[in-house]
Amino acid sequence: MNKKISIDSLLKVGEKYTGFAVSQVYYVTHQVLKLTSHLESHPKDYSSQRGLWVLLSRRKRLLIYLSANNPILYTKVLKNLGIRGLKGH
């Protein structure tokens, strides 16, 4: 997953918008995918499991913020990334 191409195709933003919630969701999702593949080959790496939980909770908070402030963009991000939405949203 090429982070810059994915973000650019969705919003036409450049590298200077790294604080934007959508770009943070893309970056965290990329990290989640890397950690998940690592944990498939190292299932007893508990510090990496904790790091994965931290990343998932950060992504959840960002998605909550995005769904509250811009629901249309929230649905675009979910569809583009292929992740599940929040419960009740």
pLDDT digits (tens, 9 = 90+) for 61-74: 999 999 999 999 99
Q: Could you give the domains of the chain? A: 7-81 (1.10.287.10)
CA distances from 2 to 5, 21, 35 (A): 6, 17, 16
Name the pTM for this structure: 0.81
* pLDDT attached to residue 88: 81
- 13-66 pLDDT per residue, tens: 455 677 899 999 999 999 999 999 999 999 999 999 999 999 999 999 999 999
pLDDT at 4 over 80: no
More confident residue, 64 or 4: 64
HEC string of the chain? CCHHHHHHHHHCCCHHHCCCHHHHHHHHHHHHHHHHHHHHHCCCCHHHHHHHHHHHHHHHHHHHHHHHHCHHHHHHHHHHHCCCCCCCC
* pLDDT attached to residue 73: 94
